[in-house]
Amino acid sequence: MSPLILNIVRRETLQLSKKILPRKRYSTVQSSIPKFESILGKDAVATKEAVRKQFSRDEGHLLPRLPTVVLSPTSVEQVAAVVRVCNEQSIPVVAYGTGTGLEGGSMSLKDGVCLSTAAIEGGICEVNEADFDVSVRPSVTRKQLNTHIRNTGLFFPVDPGADASLCGMVATSASGTNAVRYGTMKENVRNLEVVLADGSVLYTRGKGARPRKSAAGYNLTDLFIGSEGTLGIITKAILKLHPRPQAQSVALCHFPTVAEAVNSVVETLQMGVPIARIEFLDHVQVAACNKYSHLTLAEQPTLALEFHGQTDAEVGQQAQVVGDICAQNNGSAFEWSTELEEMEKLWTARHNAYYAALAMRTGAVGFTTDVCVPITKLAETIVATRKDLDETGLKGVIVGHVGDGNFHVILPVFEENEEEMKVVHAFSDRLVRRALSANGTCTGEHGIGVGKIQYLAEEFGPIGVQTMKRIKAALDPKNILNPGKVFA
């Protein structure tokens, strides 16, 4: 490893990487660089520090680690050829999309190849409007796709916030605000093209197949969704599209207590209202938003809701039902709107939640955690988490995709302050354990990456982790694909 980067490697990361790769001996990548150059051409092989730095981190709180070399293949054949060399030579290879992850999943922990997928040609290969599907290469982000298909009456709904690569979203099992209606990536993929560890090319549902359902063979597609680059490199995804709603409305509602807000969510789901977004902001988050965006919202537990339908009548009906439910749970007057400008104003608070939270401490960066619990455990989990924050003296806010029981804590932190970071990590530990003891999961959507490896074993137990490791060893016997991620 270059001495240049040692000073910016965070202590925790180093400890983890030592623990992860104790017995595995990897070759150094340097001797294979001529091979990579002959496969890709010299321009697609970057060893300059400036380039490696661009691929050294994601948007999470882990400090950067520079890969040894950054490769930019332009075709699946080139990806396969590179991976074949890496497998022969036992060189770690880490796929890198847009770098918008939060748990270090695309970071290179070890001397090895960072395989940037952004240059793979083809982009949006095929749009099948009447079949509601589309084929995309890893260079395509979700916003690019939605811009491209804006005149078809269809859209791709999964929205993790960041404008991530769609293939990267497959690899990390992304979800976000409207998963409550449209599902996560898990529910929105038809087929995948994947380069395996030995350089062979797999089509998880057979080449070109895109039926809406199938009962043939093992579900390989979902095995690769959320595998975080540890089982193969996704080079094409066939995704499902949805009819774009012709009518929308949004609403804001404030509640005296967290429990009343969450109860409104449960009752809304029980009524079968196909709500598109139902987001929670705790009172500290609302206060931060008021200050940041110059709003005058009631500083109480708040729901921001969005309704989708094909007609205004349909959307109005949904808003009516949910408005009644919120009123019965002591919610404030239910402000709702179908006007674009007004909708945007109402969503301002939620959209700027992250920046508003950071602004609570000038110069701080964001430490964002993510857990998910059954909805009946949500109120008590949020209340306990708020109490923990207050007692610990941490300035954090709670926001969440509450229709799924998924919430985040955003903490504005100074990462170089070791004492503070200890307190933050201890809080994060307690949060995860609280979620696990409530029959939940240590991550609803951010993934395991490096940051949550220690919790995987607690969540799945030894048989669960062993089963995953057996699958990993069967498909990647030399452990070259993103080593040190998901499990140690």
Q: Which is closer to a second copy, CB of 28 or CB of 467?
A: 467
Q: Which is closer to a second copy, CB of 64 or CB of 444?
A: 444
Q: Which is closer to a second copy, CB of 111 or CB of 370?
A: 370
Q: Which is closer to a second copy, CB of 129 or CB of 339?
A: 129
Give the list of residues 6+ apart from residue 106 with CB closer than 8 angstroms, or none. 55, 58, 94, 95, 96, 97, 99, 168, 229
> Minimum distance from CB of 376 to a second copy (Å)?
5
Q: Which is closer to a second copy, CB of 52 or CB of 452?
A: 452
Residue type, 447: G
Q: Which is closer to a second copy, CB of 52 or CB of 236?
A: 236
Task: Please tell me the distance from the alpha carbon of residue 279 to that of residue 261, in angstroms, as a whole number.
Answer: 10
> Minimum distance from CB of 293 to a second copy (Å)?
29
> Minimum distance from CB of 420 to a second copy (Å)?
27
CB 350 within 8 A of CB 297: no
CB 157 within 8 A of CB 145: no
257 C-beta neighbours (distance < 10 Å), count:
14
Q: Which is closer to a second copy, CB of 111 or CB of 228?
A: 228
Report long-range pairs for 160-163 (Cβ below 8 Å, ≥24 apart): 160/100, 160/445, 162/59, 162/98, 162/100, 163/98, 163/100
> Minimum distance from CB of 132 to a second copy (Å)?
7
> Minimum distance from CB of 402 to a second copy (Å)?
11
> Minimum distance from CB of 165 to a second copy (Å)?
16
Q: Which is closer to a second copy, CB of 172 or CB of 479?
A: 172
Q: Which is closer to a second copy, CB of 253 or CB of 273?
A: 273
Q: How far is CA 38 from the centre of its chain?
A: 35
> Minimum distance from CB of 369 to a second copy (Å)?
13
Q: Which is closer to a second copy, CB of 132 or CB of 414?
A: 132
> Minimum distance from CB of 7 to a second copy (Å)?
32
Q: Sign of torsion, CA 105 158 124 134? A: positive
> Minimum distance from CB of 175 to a second copy (Å)?
6
Task: Please tell me the distance from the alpha carbon of residue 278 to that of residue 253, in angstroms, as a whole number.
Answer: 11
> Minimum distance from CB of 13 to a second copy (Å)?
20
Which SS3 state, helix, strand or coil, does residue 408 take?
A: strand
> Minimum distance from CB of 23 to a second copy (Å)?
19
Task: Please tell me the distance from the alpha carbon of residue 201 to that of residue 484, in angstroms, as a whole number.
Answer: 23
Q: Which is closer to a second copy, CB of 111 or CB of 133?
A: 133
Give the list of residues 6+ apart from residue 95 with CB closer than 8 angstroms, or none. 106, 115, 117, 168, 171, 229, 233, 234, 482
CB 138 within 8 A of CB 235: yes
Strands 69-71 and 233-240: unpaired
Q: Which is closer to a second copy, CB of 54 or CB of 320?
A: 320
> Minimum distance from CB of 55 to a second copy (Å)?
22
Which SS3 state, helix, strand or coil, does residue 220 take?
A: helix
Written as six digits, the tokens of 280 are 């929670």
How far is CA 53 from each of CA 17, 49, 304, 335, 416, rounded to the nearest angstrom? 19, 6, 38, 47, 19
Q: Which residue, among 49, 45, 105, 84, has the nearest Cα to 446 in the 3D structure?
A: 105
Q: How far is CA 222 from the centre of its chain?
A: 16
Question: Across the beta sheet with 93-96, what order do the strands follow?
Answer: 45-46, 69-71, 113-116, 93-96
> Minimum distance from CB of 210 to a second copy (Å)?
5
Task: Please tell me the distance from the alpha carbon of residue 106 to that of residue 371, in angstroms, as a whole number.
Answer: 20
Task: Please tell me the distance from the alpha carbon of residue 25 to that of residue 108, in angstroms, as a whole number.
Answer: 16
Q: Which is closer to a second copy, CB of 45 or CB of 326?
A: 326
Task: Please tell me the distance from the alpha carbon of residue 113 to that of residue 90, in angstroms, as a whole number.
Answer: 11
